[in-house]
Amino acid sequence: MEPAELQTFYERLVRRLRDRGVVCAITSGLACVHYGVAESTKDCDLLCQTGSFGQLLDLLSTTQLRGDDCCYRGNISPPLDERWHRGGWTSHFEWGGGENAVTLDVFGHPWRESFPWGQGVMGLYASPRTVAEMKRTNRDKDWAFVTALGVRMLEAGEQEGWLHIFDADTLMEWIGQECCPPELTARRPALRFAMQGDSRTAGALNAERKLWEELDRRRIKMLEKHLRQYFPAVRKARVGRKLRLVDDHAMRVELAMEYLPENPLRDYGLEKFVNEAKATLVSSAIVPENALTWLPDAMIYFDWLNK
């Protein structure tokens, strides 16, 4: 399928959802391309308000592509159900199979969300701020995208962009041109260092990035632990059966109730989760102990899990 055709397919899907009153937006890689940072992904990540999952499932059930029905991708996808998405799970779909499969990953919430994503939607796409927060992963390649989005925000006069610059040279150069608002320097010690010309700026940016990487690694590990119970049960239930999407969905809900805790991170303790990640950074000598005071408050990105 041609890239432009694929883009049109995803955008049409979002428009059809909007016509039904559903708040949703394309995010991640495709949003990066839209905002001017080329990423080679062809997967579509979709943010959709959890209360509208019924409508989304209805639409997916009736949307064919090149004669293929939409189905859950593999055995590992959790169900598209707000109970699990409110706790950070995601659902994964595809049309067709193999290397030509057209895929759709659905998020009720971005994994890191410092403000409600629905408030920042721009056209069919999630805001650069939401996309930049989602990109704070443990994948090395994502970090250049975060800074690129931060710079675009600053260029457009969005002061929040200051929170997304992770490249020390770019930060210093921008600070040489414009002042960072005091409320943001108070939130992010690396910005305060940069404003003061402090040589610890690069170290503080690095410590921050390492924290996000460690948090992402731990989150994935935690989810995987539960998926290792869920996945074989789904595989067993599907073996030799060609299920319609709605039936596959009902089966996954039933198995998720047995094997997937709805909110594993909250159950574990969010503060404990963040503190342990920090402790690991120090014990593995990735950052010096005093660098912990250079970190911004990471908890605000996980508050949504408490709601």
Partner 1 sequence: MKRAPLTYCPPSRTKEKLARLREIERSFHVRAFGEELARVNLELTIEERIRYVGWMRELARRNGVPEAKRFPYNIEEDLEHPGNE
Binding stretches for partner 1 (CB under 8 A): 2-4, 7, 33-43, 73-77, 90, 92, 99, 105, 122-123, 125, 128, 144, 147-148, 151-158, 167, 169-170, 173-174, 177-178, 220, 223-224, 227-228, 231-232
In angstroms, what is the minimal distance from the CB of 151 to partner 1? Answer: 5
Report the DSSP beta bridge partners of residue 72: 93
Q: Are 117 and 106 in contact (CB under 8 A)?
A: no
Q: Report, in Å, the least distance between residue 210 CB and partner 1.
A: 18
Compare residues 33 and 299 and give the one whose CB is closer to partner 1.
33
Distance between CA atoms of residues 307 and 53, nearest Å:
18
Q: What minimum distance in Å lies between the beta carbon of 201 and partner 1?
A: 16
Considering the complex, state which of residue 295 and residue 302 has its C-beta at the smaller distance from partner 1.
Answer: 302
Q: CA 110, CA 92: separation in Å to the nearest integer?
A: 14
Nearer to partner 1 (CB atom), residue 153 or residue 298? 153
The residue (of 43 and 69) whose beta carbon lies closer to partner 1 is 43
Give me the least distance between CB of 103 and partner 1, in Å please.
9
CB of 37 to partner 1, least distance (A): 6
For partner 1, which is the closer residue by CB, 125 or 294?
125
